[in-house]
Amino acid sequence: MNYLDCWDVSANDFPTGCDKLEQIKFLLRYAILAPSNHNTQPWLFEVRGGEVAIIADRTRTLPVSDPDDRELFISCGAALFFLETAARAFGFDVSIRRFPQQHDPDLVAVVEIGKRSTKRSGRPELFEAITSRRTNRSKFSDNQLSPASESAIEAATSANGVRATWINSRNDRVTLAHLIGLADRAQFEDRAFRKELSSWVNPDRASEPDGLPAKSIGFDSPWNYVAPLLIRTFDLGPGKSRIDEALIQSSAAIMVLSTGFDKPIDWVRTGDALAAALLTAESQGVNASYLNQVCEVEDTRFRLAKIGTVQGYPQLVLRLGYGIPVAPTPRRPLDSVIRIRADAA
Ligand SMILES: Cc1cc2nc3c(=O)[nH]c(=O)nc-3n(C[C@H](O)[C@H](O)[C@H](O)COP(=O)(O)O)c2cc1C
């Protein structure tokens, strides 16, 4: 089975004459293209009539690198934004209730897919960007972001209590590079981290429905075949920290997303903001990738909060710029992430 087929979804195939259930299933083909930590895709979509419940799938956690499920909820927040963007692009009214049931911490959101009109709403350019967006880990060129791109990305990101801070000064970049190096080394020194990461790395790009294709994280052929073994066995931290330092210096822009509080609702909002940032960047021809190890190690996360004008709890570090085209990553088939409630219309 080729788990890359999911990227071939086209707006022209929207099932106009079909019932609401088929239309919602079509919208979910866009939601599953959201990014997630280690490509775990930790979400379930329960269709309940005209509503979609987004449920955190706690069977797909990363206990070592994400012990509080913080990045898991960020990923679910990104899927929520992708679903909302697709629904609005096809003219549906959308209303969202985040964490609607106090007794159910896994119920991230209920998205009501309301009446459909022929008028598209939302931001069509963000919808168009869903199928071409990728995490781009290549070295970026020297070209700077245009002020228009920079402010569009910042505006898209800073909403609902999420703050975007650019790391511009040389000093701040040097400090950030140092912290990222520390985080890389701390993670790879830990056998449990290496075991967890290696279990999510796949030699081949399309043969598994989830996880990180080795090539996408820098293991070119023939090393891709032994990547899981190499990661599990050796401490690759020193080498990785050198690569990441170079990536920081070569990035046109670096942005930190932070929040005033550090609860699941803040993480889901961060996912919303992340998705808006990534789709806006893509619509402007700007590539993005992450340097999030610094937020995954407690000590470096704490120190990151003191760099430049970063405030509150750092949630994500993104680098932005112009890289070389990269291939898409696989997704789980839609059927394995959807549940249809019997009363679905
Ligand atoms: C919360 C979160 C944290 C992430 N952290 C990292 C990271 O530290 N390094 C990295 O290379 N990619 C990171 N990623 C990117 C994922 O690995 C990527 O989204 C996933 O492999 C799917 O690939 P795609 O984004 O190209 O669709 C992160 C993604 C999310 C949502």
Please say if the pLDDT value at position 60 is more than 80. Answer: yes
Q: State the closest ligand 1 atom to the C-alpha of 217, by its place in the atom list counted from 1.
A: 11
pLDDT reported for residue 35: 98
Taking CB atoms and a 6 Å cutoff, what residues make up the pocket around ligand 1? 35-39, 71, 74-75, 78, 134-135, 137, 212, 289-290, 292-293, 329
Query: Considering the chain, what percentage of its residues have pLDDT values greater than 90?
Result: 91
pTM tops 0.95: yes
pLDDT reported for residue 343: 67
Instruction: Please state, rounded to an integer, the average pLDDT across all residues of the chain.
Output: 95
Task: Map tokens 């880990």 to a residue.
Answer: 137
pLDDT in tens, 278-306: 999 999 999 999 999 999 999 999 999 99
Catalogue all structural domains in the chain, each as residue range(s) with its CATH number: 5-134+332-340 (3.40.109.30)
Mean pLDDT along residues 255-260: 98
Q: State the closest ligand 1 atom to the C-alpha of 136, by its place in the atom list counted from 1.
A: 26
Report the distance separating Cα 6 and Cα 40, nearest Å: 16
Q: State the closest ligand 1 atom to the C-alpha of 293, by its place in the atom list counted from 1.
A: 8
56 vs 81, 148, 175, 268, 319, CA distance in Å? 15, 36, 35, 11, 27
Beta bridge partners of 256: 165, 317
Whether omega for the bond prior to residue 222 falls within 30 degrees of 0, making it cis, is: yes
Ligand 1 center to residue 256 CA distance, Å?
A: 15
Neighbours of 40 (CB within 10 A): 21
Query: Which H or E run contains 98?
Result: strand 92-98
Report the distance separating Cα 256 and Cα 319, nearest Å: 9
**3-state DSSP call for residue 298?**
helix
Phi (first) and psi of residue 221, to 5 degrees: -60, 140
Ligand 1 center to residue 134 CA distance, Å?
A: 9
Query: Considering the chain, what percentage of its residues have pLDDT values greater than 70?
Result: 99
Please say if the pLDDT value at position 344 is more than 60. Answer: no
Task: Please choose, from the candidates 250, 242, 255, 231, the residue with its C-alpha nearest in 3D space to the C-alpha of residue 324.
Answer: 250
pLDDT band at 159 (very low <50, low <70, confident <90, very high): confident
Report the distance separating Cα 206 and Cα 6, nearest Å: 11
pLDDT in tens, 223-241: 999 999 999 999 999 999 9
pLDDT in tens, 185-220: 999 999 999 999 999 999 987 789 999 999 999 999
pLDDT band at 182 (very low <50, low <70, confident <90, very high): very high
Query: Which H or E run contains 184?
Result: helix 170-189
| Burial of residue 124 (number of CB atoms within 10 Å: 0-12, 13-18, 19+) | middle
pLDDT in tens, 94-138: 999 999 999 999 999 999 999 999 877 778 999 999 999 999 999
DSSP state of 132: T
Ligand 1 center to residue 254 CA distance, Å?
A: 16
pLDDT reported for residue 250: 84
| Cβ atoms of 320 and 286 closer than 8 Å | yes
Sign of CA dihedral 112, 118, 119, 125: positive
